[in-house]
Amino acid sequence: MHADDVPTTAEQVARMVAEQHPQWSRLPVTPVAEFGTDHCLFHLGDELVARMPRVDWAADQAASDAAWLPVLAPHLPVTVPAPVALGEPDEDYPFAWSIAPWLPGVNPSADNADPHMLAADLGAFVRALHAIDASGGPAKAGTARGTPIRGLDEHVRRAIEECGDRIDAAAVTAAWDDCVAAPDWAGDPVWIHGDLMPGNLLVRDRRLSAVIDWGALGVGDPAPDLAPAWYTVPAEREELREAVGYDDDTWRRARGWALAPALTGIPYYRDTVPAFAERGLRTIAAVLADLNGQ
């Protein structure tokens, strides 16, 4: 998936668990079939999961999850996977890692979730997260989600060129121009998840039950947490907007936080994970349809 991927095997994880957390050494270690962009996951028995960063940009997530998810969890309407233990790098594996509860549920789809309830549940989650006292939380910096979106301008315009004829460059450029022209967030910074993709949501009994993968967690502009209006519940976009609130300018920036990773992901994943590139194309189509009043 990445040029600098660090491969991890079940045998390697079993050895590290036995050495660092021997209380779980008898549990079978098996790879989780689903994969993400920044971690490899391994079942530890039936109730735990080892989360092994696969790239250096995910190296700090274990410590972040351990520090902040227990603080946020009591205020949220769904479950979050606060780690139960942390692991250290060793001579064969370079990153800190974690062990967390394995949360039951499946990623939402048309077959297992009511889309209207998903929009309502997601809106309730976002409202609750943004209402938590953010003083002392880790401020977003650089070009991370939650910072002023104009910081991504150069990267996005380059990606528009790299996408070639896979997109309507003129329409996408006009959409991006509107996003970066929106005023910066003038309110107090809020807690944001930053990556509310379907793959980071779990549903049970057709309702949102858990939010996972908090690698983009931090304090900043709320707009990135509104971006799932174009890639998670695009048909229920207005329902999510009504459930969450915020002004028009925040939604303009949110549209940009949907566009930016979609555009940069198309050339990045085109050859390695084509499904991710196709997902980006669907997001772009949803943004353009929204701007065209569809």
Could you tell me the CATH number of the domain that includes residue 199? 3.90.1200.10
Select from 54, 72, 101 the last residue of a domain: 101
The confidence score (pLDDT) of residue 294 equals: 62
What does the alpha-carbon distance between residue 294 and residue 116 come to, in Å, rounded to a whole number?
18
Residue 87's contacts (CB-CB under 8 Å, 6 or more residues apart) are: 16, 17, 20, 21, 50, 62, 96, 97, 98, 99
Inside any domain, residue 181: yes
Taking phi over 0 as left and psi of -120 to 50 as alpha, with beta for the rest, 183 belongs to beta
- Structural domain for 47, as ranges: 10-101
- Residue 223: both structure tokens together: 């707009």
The confidence score (pLDDT) of residue 125 equals: 98
Cα distances from 189 to residues 38, 184, 220, in angstroms, run 26, 11, 4
Q: How many CB atoms are closer than 10 A to CB 167?
A: 20
Give the CATH number of the domain where residue 65 resides: 3.30.200.20
78 plus 159 within the same structural domain = no
18 plus 92 within the same structural domain = yes
The confidence score (pLDDT) of residue 213 equals: 95
CA dihedral 141→143→149→153, nearest 10 degrees, is 150
139 plus 94 within the same structural domain = no
136 plus 261 within the same structural domain = yes
The confidence score (pLDDT) of residue 57 equals: 81
The pLDDT profile of the chain, 294 residues, written as one tens digit per residue, is 666 788 899 999 999 999 999 999 999 999 998 767 889 999 999 999 999 999 988 899 999 999 999 999 999 999 999 999 999 999 999 999 999 999 999 999 989 999 999 999 999 999 999 999 999 999 999 999 999 999 999 999 999 999 999 999 999 999 999 999 999 999 999 999 999 999 999 999 999 999 999 999 999 999 999 999 999 999 999 999 999 999 999 999 999 999 999 999 999 888 788 888 999 999 999 999 999 876
Inside any domain, residue 198: yes
In terms of Cα–Cα distance, which of 173, 207, 217 is closest to 60?
Answer: 217
Greatest Cα-to-Cα distance within the chain, rounded to the nearest angstrom:
58
90 plus 14 within the same structural domain = yes
Q: Which phi and psi (to 5°) does residue 210 adopt?
A: -155, 155
